[in-house]
C-alpha cells in the first residue's frame, strides 16, 4: 500500500507544516484500516500565525468592491459543479454518509456560492430622510474584521461554506478550523479559494483539536468574530471564552427535534418522513428527528409500519449506491449511543428495533450501529430529553394536538420540528405554536434550503441564523450609519428640531 497523502495548513497563501511537527490520521469510519490522509496536529503558534496573516490581509480585501469579491465565490461554485462527484466520494470516505447524501452536501456548498455571489450586489443599506434640512442620512454594511470559523464533522463541506462564503463576501478575512474527523472536505473548499485567486492571507486553514486550535482561536485578541457549530456544551464554553475579549459570537448547537403525527395524517407519508429524519446521516444531524409524537389513535399502526420499513434499511459503507445508513463518525460517538441505549432500557423504554452494534463481517471494520426505535417513552425520560446524535428515535403518545405541542416544546432545545396532518387549521396552529426556528408541515425535520434562515431558539443557538440566506450577512457585517450635512452650517439634531 502506498503512503497516505500528507496535508498541510494554509497560512498567508502558503501550505505549511505545523510548528509543532505533529500530525494526525484521517481514517474511514466504515473501514478504520483505511487512512485517507495525514493532517497537521497544529499548535497555538500556528493559530497565531494564521490570525496575523488574516489581520494583515483583511483591510486590502475589504477594499475590493463587493461585486468583485463575489466573482471569486461564483467561480468557486463553477468548479464545485465540475468536481462534485470527486468531492462527494472523498466526503463519504472520511465522514461515512451515503454517497447520495455526500452529493447533496457538496450541492449545498454550490448553492451557497451561487446565492452569496448574488449578495455581492445586494449588500444593501438603506436611506432615510433627515429631520433637518440639507442633510442626507443612510446606512451601509461594513466587515467585522477577522473571523474564526469552527466547523462540525457531520456536514464537512456544506457548513464550512455557510460560514466561509458569507464571511468573504462581506469583506472579512478568515481562519477556518475544520472538525478533526473531517478535515479533507474543508481542505477541498480552501484549495478552491486559492485556485480562483482569492488574495493571500484572506483565507487561512488550520487543522487540529479543540484545545490546541479552537480555544486559542476563540481567545486570540485579534479575532473579531467566532462562528461555531457543534454541541451545546462546547458552544457554552465558546461563548464564555469569547466574552472575555468582547468578540461577536454566532453559536449553532444541539437539538431534540420532534415530529408530530396526527390521527388524520397520511401514515405512509409520515413513516417515510420518520425514516429519513431519524436515520438519514445515521441520525448525526442537529435537525435529526429524535422524537416522534404520535396521536394515540394511530400509534399502533404507525409503530408497526415504521418498524417494518426501518428493518429493511440497508446499513454499510456509503460508497455503495444502495446503502441507506452509513457508519457512526468515530468510536466515541458509537459508545455514546450505546450508553443511551442502556439508559433507555433502564428507564423502562422498549427498544422494539435495533439497539445493538453491528460487528459481523465487514461491519467489524467500522463503527456501524443498527437503526433503533424506542417505544413506551415518557417525556421525562433522558432519552426523550437529551441529544443522542445517532440512529435512535423515541416514540411518544399524545391525546390531541395541544398535548402533542406541549410534549414537543418540553425541551431545552428549539431547532427543528414538523407536523403531519391533512387539516390546514392544525397545520397553521402548529406553525404558530411549535417553539422551533425551523418548522415543516407534512415533511421531515431535516432538509433545510440554503436561501432560508437556519437556526433555533433556546439552547440551540444564540439568536443568529446561518445558511446563505440574507440573515447570514448579519453575522459577518457591522452596520454603519452615515450623516452628510451640506447645509454649510452647524446643525444640532433634536436641539435645532425643537
Catalytically active residues are: 252, 286
Beta-carbon-side half-sphere exposure of residue 308 (alpha carbons within 13 Å): 8
Q: What is the crossing angle of helices 66-82 and 183-195, to 10°?
A: 120
**CA nearest to 388, candidates 376, 374, 405, 403:** 374
Q: Which residues of 191-228 are buried (b: 16+ CB within 10 A; e: fewer)?
A: bbbeebebebbbbbbbbbebebbbbbbbbbeebbbbbb
SS3 79: helix
Distance in angstroms (rounded) separating the CA atoms of residues 311 and 8: 43
Could you give the count of Cα atoms lying within 13 Å of 269 in the half-sphere of its Cβ? 16
Contact present, 176 and 149 (Cβ < 8 Å): yes
The CA distance from 329 to 155, in Å, is 11
Q: From CA 388, how far away is CA 136, in angstroms rounded?
A: 55
Q: Cβ(288)–Cβ(280) under 8 Å?
A: yes
Q: Where are the alpha helices (DSSP H) in 120-182?
A: 158-169
Between CA 154 and CA 258 the distance in angstroms is 20
Q: In the numeric block, which cell numbers belong to residue 67?
A: 461585486
Q: Are 281 and 258 in contact, with CB atoms under 8 Å apart? A: no
Give how far Cα 300 sits from Cα of 231, 263, 295, 309, Å: 34, 11, 10, 14
Determine the Cα–Cα distance for residues 45 and 422; give it in Å rounded to an integer.
58
* Cα distance between residue 423 and residue 409, in whole Å: 21
* Neighbour-count burial of 263, counting CB atoms closer than 10 A to its CB (0-12 exposed, 13-18 middle, 19+ buried): middle
* 427/408 Cα distance (integer angstroms): 14
Amino acid at each position: 500500500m502506498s503512503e497516505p497523502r500528507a496535508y498541510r495548513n494554509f497560512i498567508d497563501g502558503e501550505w505549511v507544516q505545523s510548528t509543532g511537527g505533529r500530525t494526525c490520521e484521517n481514517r474511514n469510519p466504515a473501514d478504520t484500516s483505511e487512512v485517507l490522509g495525514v493532517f497537521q496536529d497544529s499548535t497555538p503558534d500556528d493559530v497565531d500565525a494564521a490570525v496575523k496573516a488574516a489581520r494583515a490581509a483583511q483591510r486590502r480585501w475589504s477594499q475590493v468592491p463587493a461585486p468583485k469579491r463575489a466573482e471569486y465565490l461564483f467561480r468557486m461554485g463553477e468548479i464545485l459543479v465540475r468536481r462534485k462527484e470527486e468531492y462527494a466520494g472523498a466526503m463519504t470516505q472520511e465522514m461515512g454518509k451515503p454517497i447520495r447524501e455526500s452529493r447533496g452536501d457538496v450541492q449545498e456548498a454550490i448553492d451557497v456560492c451561487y446565492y452569496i455571489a448574488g449578495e455581492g450586489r445586494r449588500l444593501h443599506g438603506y436611506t432615510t430622510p433627515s429631520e433637518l434640512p440639507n442633510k442626507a442620512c443612510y446606512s451601509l454594511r461594513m466587515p467585522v474584521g477577522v473571523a474564526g470559523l469552527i466547523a462540525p464533522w457531520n456536514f464537512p463541506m456544506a457548513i464550512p461554506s455557510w460560514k466561509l462564503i458569507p464571511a468573504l463576501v462581506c469583506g472579512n478575512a478568515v481562519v477556518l478550523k475544520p472538525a478533526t474527523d473531517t478535515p479533507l472536505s474543508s481542505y477541498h473548499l480552501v484549495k478552491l479559494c486559492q485556485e480562483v485567486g482569492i488574495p493571500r492571507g484572506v483565507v487561512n486553514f488550520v487543522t487540529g483539536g479543540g484545545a490546541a486550535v479552537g480555544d486559542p482561536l476563540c481567545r486570540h485578541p485579534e479575532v473579531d468574530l467566532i462562528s461555531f457549530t457543534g454541541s451545546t456544551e462546547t458552544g457554552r464554553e465558546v461563548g464564555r471564552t469569547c466574552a472575555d475579549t468582547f468578540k461577536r459570537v454566532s453559536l449553532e448547537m444541539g437539538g431534540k427535534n420532534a415530529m408530530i403525527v396526527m390521527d388524520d395524517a397520511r401514515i405512509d407519508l409520515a413513516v417515510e418522513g420518520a425514516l429519513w429524519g431519524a436515520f438519514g446521516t445515521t441520525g448525526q444531524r442537529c435537525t435529526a428527528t429524535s422524537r416522534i409524537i404520535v396521536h394515540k389513535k394511530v400509534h399502533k399502526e404507525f409503530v408497526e409500519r415504521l418498524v417494518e420499513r426501518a428493518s429493511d434499511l440497508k446499513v454499510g459503507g456509503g460508497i455503495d449506491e444502495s446503502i441507506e445508513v452509513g457508519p457512526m463518525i468515530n468510536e466515541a460517538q458509537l459508545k455514546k449511543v450505546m450508553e443511551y441505549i442502556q439508559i433507555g432500557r433502564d428507564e423502562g423504554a422498549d427498544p422494539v428495533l435495533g439497539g445493538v452494534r453491528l460487528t459481523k463481517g465487514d461491519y467489524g471494520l467500522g463503527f456501524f450501529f443498527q437503526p433503533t426505535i424506542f417505544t413506551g417513552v415518557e417525556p421525562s425520560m433522558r432519552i426523550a430529553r437529551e441529544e443522542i446524535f445517532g440512529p435512535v428515535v423515541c416514540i411518544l403518545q399524545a391525546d390531541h394536538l395541544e398535548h402533542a405541542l406541549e410534549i414537543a416544546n418540553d425541551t431545552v432545545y428549539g431547532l427543528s420540528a414538523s407536523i403531519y396532518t391533512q387539516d390546514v387549521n392544525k397545520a397553521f396552529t402548529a406553525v404558530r405554536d411549535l417553539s422551533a426556528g425551523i418548522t415543516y408541515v407534512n415533511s421531515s425535520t431535516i432538509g433545510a434550503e440554503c436561501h432560508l434562515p437556519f437556526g433555533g431558539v433556546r439552547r440551540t443557538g444564540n439568536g443568529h441564523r446561518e445558511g446563505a440566506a440574507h440573515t447570514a450577512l448579519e453575522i459577518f457585517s457591522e452596520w454603519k450609519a452615515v450623516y452628510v450635512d451640506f447645509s454649510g452650517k452647524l446643525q444640532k439634531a433634536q436641539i435645532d428640531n425643537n
